[in-house]
Structures are given as C-alpha cells and as structure tokens.
Amino acid sequence: MRVMSAVKVRMNLILEWPVEQQGVDMVRDEAETVLRAWHAYEIRRGCSPVIDFDCHPVDTDVEPAESRLDVHRRLSELRDRADEGVAERLDADIAYLGSLLGERRPLTEYVQVTQGCGAAGWSAEYVLERGEQAREALAALGVGWGPGTGDELNEVEGPLGLDEAPDAIRKASDQLEAAVREATGSVAPFELDIETAHVDAYWAYWLDGAGHRVRLRLNLRNAVFTEVGARRFALHEVLGHGLQSSSWTEAAKVPAPWIRLMSVHALQQVLLEGLAQALPLFVTPDDEALIARIRLDHFIQLVRAELHLGLEDGLPIRELAAHARSRIPWWSDAVIADTLTDRGDPQLRTYLWSYPAGIDWFVHLADADPETRRKVLHAAYSKPLTPADLVSLWPDGPQIGGPGR
C-alpha cells in the first residue's frame, strides 16, 4: 500500500509539471535506471563502481545489466532523446563505457567529454612557481625540501595512531562544520559513518553514500594519520564531498533536470575534487600548517598532470620517472610507479585529471573578491556544477585544465 501511495503522489506531481519538464524527467529517470543496472553489473563482476553517490536513492532491487554492450546501446538511444544537460552527462557515461570496451580516445577529447574541461596543462615555469610557493610554506614550518620532506612534514603535523584517526576526523568535522555551512549556505543534514579498509589502490581516503548518509573509508594501506591530516580530510571528505552531496540530495527533492547519480567519470568531478582540496583556503585561512599542506598539494597535482600528459605524449617511462624525482625528491619508486600505472586505467585516466584541473581553479578563486567567492561556494552546494557552470559564475578565472604548456 505504501508503494501504491508513493506512485499516486508521483503521478500527481508529474501532472502538475509543465509538459516539457515531464519529458526531461522521463529521459532522466530512464537514464538513471540504466546507470543503476550498469553499476550493479560492474559490482557483480568485482569492478569499479559506476555510482559513487546517490542523491535519489530507491528501495527497489536493481537487476544487473546483461553486458556493457547492452548498456552502451541503451545509453546511446537515450542520448538521442535527451536535452542538453542530460545529454552531456550521457556523453560522459558513453565515453567512459567506450573506454572500458576498448576505445582509447586522445586524452584531450576524453577529458573534455567526461570531465568537461580541457587538458592543455601548465607551463614548467608555472609549475616551478607553485613549487616555490610550497617550499616557502614548508620552510615556515621548519620543514626542508629533499628526500626527507614527507617524513618531516608528517612529524610536524602531529602523528596519530590508527586507532585515533576516526575520532580525530569526526571531532574535526564537528568543530569545522559551522564554518563550512556559513561559507556555503548549506543547511542539509547528513549522517557520517567511518570505516577502515586495506585496499591495493591509489586512495587513502574515500567517501561515498546515498541520500543523507555518507561513508568515509580509511585505507590503512596508504593513509598516514596526523592531527593536521584529520582537519584536512574532515574538510575534504566529510564537509566537502559529504555535506556537498547531501546538499544535492536535498536539492533533488524538488524537480531536478540533472541526473542524480554522481560518478567520478562525469562532469561534476572537477567541482568536487577542486573545492574539496582547496576548501581550507576559504574556511581556515589562518591554519598555517594546513595551508602549507594545500600549497604542497597544489604543486604535487601539477606534477601529476605533467606525468599524465607525458604518458599521453609517449615519453619513455625512465624519463618520466626521472622527472618525478626531480620535482618531488621524497617520492619512492613505488609511489612513482603507482602514479604512472593509475593513469593507464580507463576510469582513472579521466578522473585523476579532475584533481589538478580543480585545485588550480579553486586556489585562484580563493584570491578573488569576497562576493565572487561567496557566489561560487553557495552555488557549488546547491546543485552539481560543470566546468562550464563554474566559468559562467567567474568568467575572469583561469582556464580550467590549464592554458597550455
């Protein structure tokens, strides 16, 4: 009976919406059904998930798709009926799925279709300039630049034991939540679960979830826990990704023309990763140790972008490895190898570009006038924004994905 009542309410709402809106929502709903089936298919095979956050969770069981080719055909048919916003998202899904099926588009084309931005990169002079900024910030903390930089910085940041990390992150989230809500205008509720994992993957922290429930996973294989790190990832994962996705869930309770399933291969990821990395610049600008870490993150992401483009250019692995060591002397061979390997993966080849593209844009935004900063951050927590949306909010900002090398 409850299901029937929900259906009746849904039907009444649809009848009250404009005919054009009904058509948009029908295609969107069909697309979401296909994406859920694709997600179930990949999970059943033990592959990477398609959906990382569900802003419109459903209670029904989802039947896995028959094959990737079946999904490709169904998404392509829906693409022909979709309006511009949904069509752009479906283009991203189709491009990523095509890559899983064996396509290999040029990086600039693949990133443009999936992440919605360019992949021109940044000049060596600019990368070195940001590196010097990071060196100065570390020097102010008494941390040198060389093979021991990583260990020195972790020591300065205040090491935490594995058993201390979950409570430290939760405590930092509680302490910083009001400041983030003030900066973003979000009033959405959220519930946080923290779990630990031991996964052979590039990530140290990962957040996913559905509705207002967010799950933060700590990868004990890669994570190094410090007091500063607790504040950093409280802002990045919990109050960045978590609160932002929960805010989009709240927005999706009224008619929303966008697909309500977030995926790392899609066009909202530059916003998600960019703002999450740079959020301390907006919320805790006087936290010297945390800001130093953000300056370093910015530089490291630019170096990763250099390696990403170097692989696309076909440069020899030995040359790329030597370049990485010259830029970041504390990186081990294992870290360099993983950095290069990840960028050959169909999902990570697109997704990992969102990190340098995003952080560079938002680091510049932090230096913009207060009204522009406020406008962008409030918009960022009201609905998923593409790079084109970000440019429309701040036309004077830097080129997303870099101006070229």
Helix 269-283, helix 288-313: angle, nearest 10: 150
Rounded to an integer, what distance in angstroms lies between the CA atom of residue 57 and that of residue 44?
A: 19
Q: Residue 58 is which amino acid? A: V
Nearest CA to 232 out of 185, 278, 299 is that of 278
pTM for this predicted structure: 0.92
Name residues whose C-beta falls within 8 Å of residue 143's C-beta, 6 or more positions apart in sequence. 149, 152, 153, 156, 292
Q: Residue 177 is which amino acid? A: E
Instruction: With beta carbons less than 8 A apart as the criterion, state whether 96 and 251 touch.
Output: no
Instruction: With beta carbons less than 8 A apart as the criterion, state whether 84 and 356 touch.
Output: no
Looking at the predicted structure, is the pLDDT value of residue 13 above 60? no
Rounded to an integer, what distance in angstroms lies between the CA atom of residue 25 and that of residue 23?
A: 5
Residues 40-54, mean pLDDT to the nearest whole number? 97
Looking at the predicted structure, is the pLDDT value of residue 199 above 80? no
> Which backbone phi and psi does 362 adopt, to 5 degrees?
-75, -30
Q: Residue 274 is which amino acid? A: G
Residues 37-63, mean pLDDT to the nearest whole number? 96
Rounded to an integer, what distance in angstroms lies between the CA atom of residue 80 and that of residue 86?
A: 10
23 pLDDT band, cuts 50/70/90, is: low
Rounded to an integer, what distance in angstroms lies between the CA atom of residue 229 and that of residue 226?
A: 5
pLDDT tens digits along 106-120 = 999 999 999 999 999
pLDDT tens digits along 136-176 = 999 999 999 999 999 999 999 999 988 898 899 999 999 99
pLDDT tens digits along 250-292 = 999 998 999 999 999 999 999 999 999 999 999 999 999 999 9
Looking at the predicted structure, is the pLDDT value of residue 4 above 60? no
| 194: β partners | 216
Rounded to an integer, what distance in angstroms lies between the CA atom of residue 366 and that of residue 279?
A: 9
Tell me the CA distances in angstroms from 126 to 129, 131, 298, 303, 362, one per residue in order: 5, 9, 11, 11, 16
Which tokens is 92 given? 């991203």
Q: Which residue has the higher pLDDT, 121 or 60?
A: 121
Nearest CA to 96 out of 403, 346, 389 is that of 346
Q: Which residue has the higher pLDDT, 71 or 215?
A: 71
Polymer length in residues for the chain: 405
| Residue tagged 């940044």 (tokens) | 122
Name residues whose C-beta falls within 8 Å of residue 171's C-beta, 6 or more positions apart in sequence. 230
> Which backbone phi and psi does 94 adopt, to 5 degrees?
-65, -40
Instruction: With beta carbons less than 8 A apart as the criterion, state whether 207 and 217 touch.
Output: yes
